[in-house]
Amino acid sequence: MICAFPKKLAGLGAIAVVLAVPAQAQEPPAIWTGFYAGAHAGYGWAIDEPAPFDVSGGVLGMHAGYNYQMGLTVLGIEGDYTGSWMEDTQSAGGARVTLDVDYVASIRGRLGNALGNALLYGTIGYAWADAGTSGLGVSRTTDFDGLVLGAGMDYKFAPDWSARVEGLNYWLSPDRNGQDIDDLDAAVVRAGITWHLPSSY
């Protein structure tokens, strides 16, 4: 009996150590914290474009940013540049006129929730774009800027790599310079792949 008593104390001590582990130690590892960069491709279309144009087409670009994970909450900032093949050509006044979007870019904040290897997030920020018209031997380019809002999901399929899918809506106004130019409202759906710096988490 005397020999068994220390064993019972050791067992109780082990249980006490387990119970004394702080709650934060049970939180998931911060696998999203750190810098990242990647590429994306998808499809976009203009909303409420001037008749009779139906502007749409592929997009291809790059993105980079930084995430900071606190428990299940992930805060981040991201910038992107996306080349665009959104365009349409129609007959106007007996001539062929092309309306096209050259690129869209943005700097956005992100707020997400980590669910295992998945990160669901919303994003909002400032965006700018370049679009123009050409026809009758004349071309005109206009700069646009405004708001971008969207949501998406990143998924870590390897320690340093993730895949993503996201949708973004742009509400952009032109730098008119005395010209009568419509706003540029567009939607983009895109998928991408991202590399996460190994030393950052």
Q: Rounded distance, CA 133 to CA 41, Å?
A: 24
Q: Which residue has the tokens 């093949």?
A: 85
For 55, list phi and psi in degrees, rounded to 5: -80, 125
Q: Rounded distance, CA 43 to CA 187, Å?
A: 9
Q: Rounded distance, CA 180 to CA 175, Å?
A: 10
pLDDT by residue (tens digit) across 127-141? 999 887 766 666 677
The pTM for the full model equals: 0.78
pLDDT in the model for residue 16? 39
pLDDT in the model for residue 20? 40
Tokens for 23? 């709650």
Select from 65, 108, 60, 61 the least CA-distant residue to 81: 61
pLDDT by residue (tens digit) across 91-104? 766 667 778 889 99
Cα dist. 132→75, 87, 101 in Å? 36, 10, 7
pLDDT by residue (tens digit) across 68-93? 999 999 999 999 999 999 888 777 66
